[in-house]
Structure 1
Amino acid sequence: MGEKRQAIYDATTLGKPKMAVLGLQHMFAMFGATILVPILVNGYFNGEGLSVQVTLFFAGLGTLLFHLCSKFKVPAFLGSSFAFLGGFATIANLNTGKYANMTYGEKLPYACGGIVVAGLLYLILALIFRLVGVKKVMHYLPPVVTGPIIICIGLSLAPSAIGNASANWILAIIAFLVVIIFNIWGKGMWKIIPILMGVVISYLVAVIFQAFGMTNADGSAIIDYAPIATAAWVGLPKFVIAKFDITAILVMAPIAIATMMEHVGDISAISATTSKNFIEDPGLNRTLLGDGLATALAGMFGGPANTTYGENTGVLELSKVYDPKVVRIAAVYAIIVSFIPKIADIIGTMPTAIIGGISFVLYGMISAIGVRNVVENKVDFTKSRNLIVAAVILVSGLGFTDGITFTIGSTSITLTSLAIAALLGIILNAILPGNDYNFGDNHKGDINRGVSFNNIEEENNEK
């Protein structure tokens, strides 16, 4: 039970049926958070906001585009970004100038136009990485910076897990226990699909609970079947063509500063999880390009901004199956489901308590990866500069729950807590004396980070 499982980098050795199931697990992992963004935005726009079907379509298509740009090497899934929610809310409430007499539905295309520009800003940073080189840029992103940022990514999601689980703690605990049981005591295929089994088994339990008259803590039904009855089996996503206006662009585009910093942290997390050098190969310039193009494409046709998903990084850590092909299968599933409103609504009936219970494992796993990042690299916390950098990142990433909002001209801009943490950490690490980290010099340490120049060479030297 205590032995370390072997990582699987080629899922074809498992067979196509198992790969299909693993892809399904990744789809379930991203589904709740991905569809939650359009649900929240619809609240801002009084029901005239983003479409769940469009969101799923561009999550799948954006993921495939990302894989194309990253040479099909990075096992990342791109789902809806929560960072832009504040921007959507701001544009929904605009009531001056040309927006004074607009309906909520008429404002939405301008918000999407801002998303397009935000995505294109990624291309500028990608070019910087391309021109300057990864080694010089990564000098300013040592483990003392990336480790705490990864920790914050997982812990910042913790309130979401608690909030969802609190809807029905019994159901959440069942989902959590099923995941743990299959992950620790499962054999063969069962051991690498704990998330999917947690979803399926706990959903069946929810059906039984409802049949016996049980309800959520607030008295509401555990499962709401009403949307399923009215949904069609086949239907095209309702695409919206983006429109452009400087006011909306100034609201949405600056948020890219935050999400680009989060992207670097996410790629570091995926690298550390899989022990692969994705920062060097295919390179941050390519991953940023893929993320930016996916976001711009989604915004152009009425979808939310995309971002690399920590939930799926958690699935990678649990399953130990690191083959990007499995994630691409999940992307294809998302596209297919986007054309089947009834299936989308069936999956959408997933009780939030189940999502919360499973998130206990996934979100915690992300933070654990950050801790491993720091420990395995032997970050010296006897140095005051390292303590200060890590402390500021952790306090900022967890303390600024509402971010920081400031006004430029008449435009209100919000930086999320993770963006603040990343920016402060990078700046402090750059200006405080004692930054002796040189990317690529210590192959062993970089392998532990998952960002070595030559993993194979160092592994061979150790044999």
Structure 2
Amino acid sequence: MEKNLSESSYNFRLKDCLLGAQMLFVAFGALVLVPLLTGLNPNVALFTAGAGTLLFQLITGGKVPVFLASSFAFIAPIIYGVQQWGIPGTLCGLAAAGLLYVLFSLAIRLFGSGILHRILPPVVTGPVIMVIGLVLAPVAVHMASGRTGDGAAWLVPQPTAFIIAGVSLAVTVLVSLLGKGLFRLIPILCGIASGYATSLLLDLAGISASIQAGFDPGSLKNWTAPTLISMQKVAEAPWIAMPDFTFPTWNLEAVLFIVPVAIAPAIEHFGDVLAIGGITGRDYVDDPGIHRTLLGDGLATSLAALLGGPPNTTYSEVSGAVALTRSFNPAIMTWAAISAILLAFVGKLGAFLGTIPVPVMGGIMVLLFGAISVIGINTLIKAQIDLMRPRNLTIAAVILVFGIGGMSFDLTVVKLGGIGLAGIVGVILNLLLPQER
């Protein structure tokens, strides 16, 4: 314990810059996956991940060795929000979600951490997390099949798409199960790399062009091409470029739809802080305090949304890398943040990420969105929630049907539906329904 405590003090040193870059490498695949799936800019996501991590360190006094980056929990509402209100309107909802963290932080400071568990018990958060994953299931299937997220058009012929998505999915699973050391921490990055390499091989062998020539799109629009990957935009992009920041515009519907989604990652934040505390041997719930870490997470999320990036969250992959390398010095995350900010200004990087074929992401999404739903189930199991009790059954059932079924209420001033409505109804039912004896 003595060694852990001494090594986990903030000490900014030039020699740690490579360790910091390695931490960013561990987070990179998941970090850029969210903007690539949702239509946000990956360079902006890199910038806001770095800036959010630095803001978190400022608020927590540089005491916690965590890296903040794109949150998977918000993928579904971002995709839906961009379709309904565009990116600026959706960013308004994401910024408000960060402010919900701030309110939670204030409540914890005033009433203690137990207040969140009373308002948001596992019987509410578990089904909400399940809804987040299941709502996106059709999007994953469409993209793995080579179609657009809404399934309206072909981007890649289906036979080709199944090959690429299958390789991406298989490699991601195998690395997560069999990977050793650093590789086990980057299954998503390995899956993306293998899917991309498969796409290049299909192009070079002429298989892509052959399948595309005989492909029948049926009644859907056909946006397929003889090659899967084109480097034209990479060649045209400048080496150094300002990230394409996008600023939010006020949209009350987006706020009411997205804010309840923050319930799940706010609760998960407790687990992340306890996990990194177990790794370093320090009690971060006490010092700097869970209210400060939650405040830092929330303000980092709002900052990201104000600039056009996805919401931030603490990355368990990076916590795993901390455990693996025994690098407990929080200043290493400062170097990771600086590395992310510098990469954000590399114009060709964003253009290159844009060349990744849709089925590569689709294969990973099949696993990812299913995994989110399983986390929701596991939340109920770990808390030993008896779903056959009428009260628990009612709360879980209403959340699932409202969220997955797309229930919505038009309140004249605003329309409330989907995941947001499911989360709000779950909280209300938990507060109103009497406890069973």
- Of stretches 290-299 and 132-141 in structure 1, the one that deviates more from structure 2 is 290-299
Q: Tell me if structure 2 keeps the 8 A contact 1:172–1:357.
A: yes
1:207 paired to 2:207: no
Residue of structure 1 aligned with 2:303, choices 297, 305, 309: 297
Residue of structure 2 aligned with 1:232, choices 228, 238, 263: 238
Tell me the alpha carbon deviations over residues 346-371 of structure 1, each in whole angstroms, 9 at most, x when there is no partner.
12212221112122333333332322
1:144 paired to 2:123: yes
Q: Tell me if structure 1 keeps the 8 A contact 2:67–2:333.
A: yes
CA distance in 2, matches of 1:230, 1:273: 44
Pick closer, same or farther for the CA change 1:180–1:125 going to 2, 3 Å: closer
Secondary structure in structure 1 of the residue aligned to 2:107: helix
Tell me the alpha carbon deviations over residues 111-164 of structure 1, each in whole angstroms, 9 at most, x when there is no partner.
867866665465344323322322133123222222222223333333332222
Pick closer, same or farther for the CA change 1:408–1:285 going to 2, 3 Å: farther
- Structure 2 residue aligned with 1:363: 369
List aligned pairs for 1:37-116, cutoff 5 A: 37-39=38-40, 52-66=42-56, 68-69=58-59, 71-72=63-64, 76-79=68-71, 81=74, 83=77
- Structure 1 residue aligned with 2:432: 431
- 1:79 CA displacement: 4.9
Letter in structure 2 aligned against 1:156: V
- Of stretches 316-325 and 197-206 in structure 1, the one that deviates more from structure 2 is 316-325
Letter in structure 2 aligned against 1:77: A
1:130 paired to 2:134: no
- 1:272 CA displacement: 9.2
- 1:27 CA displacement: 1.4
- Structure 1 residue aligned with 2:163: 170
Q: Tell me if structure 2 keeps the 8 A contact 1:194–1:319.
A: no
Letter in structure 1 aligned against 2:387: F
Letter in structure 2 aligned against 1:161: A
Residue of structure 1 aligned with 2:311, choices 306, 310, 326: 306
- Structure 2 residue aligned with 1:27: 28
Q: Percent of pairs identical after alignment? A: 31
Pick closer, same or farther for the CA change 1:385–1:240 going to 2, 3 Å: closer
Secondary structure in structure 2 of the residue aligned to 1:139: helix
- 1:22 CA displacement: 5.4
1:421 paired to 2:411: no
CA distance in 1, matches of 2:136, 2:91: 25
Letter in structure 2 aligned against 1:355: M
List aligned pairs for 1:212-223, cutoff 5 A: 212-215=205-208, 219-220=224-225, 221-223=227-229
Pick closer, same or farther for the CA change 1:155–1:24 going to 2, 3 Å: farther
- Structure 1 residue aligned with 2:345: 339
Letter in structure 2 aligned against 1:29: A
Pick closer, same or farther for the CA change 1:371–1:193 going to 2, 3 Å: same
- Structure 1 residue aligned with 2:156: none
CA distance in 2, matches of 1:382, 1:250: 37
Question: Number of paired residues?
Answer: 386
- 1:394 CA displacement: 2.1
Pick closer, same or farther for the CA change 1:120–1:184 going to 2, 3 Å: closer
TM-score (normalised: structure 2): 0.71
- Of stretches 184-193 and 344-353 in structure 1, the one that deviates more from structure 2 is 184-193
List aligned pairs for 1:394-405, cutoff 5 A: 394-400=400-406, 404=408
Higher relative contact order (CA 8 A, sep 6+): 2
Tell me the alpha carbon deviations over residues 379-427 of structure 1, each in whole angstroms, 9 at most, x when there is no partner.
2233221122222222223222xx6363554xx444442x222222222
- Structure 1 residue aligned with 2:387: 381
- 1:308 CA displacement: 3.3
- Structure 1 residue aligned with 2:179: 186
CA distance in 2, matches of 1:435, 1:304: 44
- Structure 1 residue aligned with 2:396: 390
Letter in structure 2 aligned against 1:211: L
Query: 5+ unaligned residues in a row in structure 1: which ranges?
Result: 1-9, 40-50, 93-107, 437-463
- Structure 2 residue aligned with 1:459: none
CA distance in 2, matches of 1:278, 1:399: 40
- 1:65 CA displacement: 2.3
Q: Tell me if structure 1 keeps the 8 A contact 2:185–2:320.
A: no
CA distance in 2, matches of 1:341, 1:427: 47
- Structure 2 residue aligned with 1:47: none
Pick closer, same or farther for the CA change 1:238–1:165 going to 2, 3 Å: closer
Q: Tell me if structure 2 keeps the 8 A contact 1:59–1:79.
A: no
- Structure 2 residue aligned with 1:104: none
Letter in structure 2 aligned against 1:163: H
CA distance in 2, matches of 1:317, 1:370: 21
Pick closer, same or farther for the CA change 1:223–1:279 going to 2, 3 Å: farther
- 1:171 CA displacement: 0.4
CA distance in 1, matches of 2:310, 2:243: 17
Letter in structure 2 aligned against 1:222: L
- 1:90 CA displacement: 6.4
- Structure 2 residue aligned with 1:99: none
- Structure 2 residue aligned with 1:260: 262
Q: Tell me if structure 2 keeps the 8 A contact 1:60–1:78.
A: no
Q: Tell me if structure 2 keeps the 8 A contact 1:150–1:266.
A: no
Pick closer, same or farther for the CA change 1:351–1:270 going to 2, 3 Å: farther
Pick closer, same or farther for the CA change 1:384–1:117 going to 2, 3 Å: closer
- 1:77 CA displacement: 2.4
Pick closer, same or farther for the CA change 1:388–1:195 going to 2, 3 Å: same
TM-score (normalised: structure 1): 0.68
Tell me the alpha carbon deviations over residues 32-73 of structure 1, each in whole angstroms, 9 at most, x when there is no partner.
32244445xxxxxxxxxxx55334322331244245445526
Secondary structure in structure 1 of the residue aligned to 2:410: strand
Query: 5+ unaligned residues in a row in structure 2: which ranges?
Result: 1-7, 9-15, 147-160, 216-221
Q: Tell me if structure 2 keeps the 8 A contact 1:195–1:358.
A: yes
- Structure 2 residue aligned with 1:453: none
Tell me the alpha carbon deviations over residues 163-195 of structure 1, each in whole angstroms, 9 at most, x when there is no partner.
221111110100111122223333444334322
CA distance in 1, matches of 2:176, 2:322: 8
CA distance in 2, matches of 1:285, 1:380: 30
- 1:31 CA displacement: 0.9
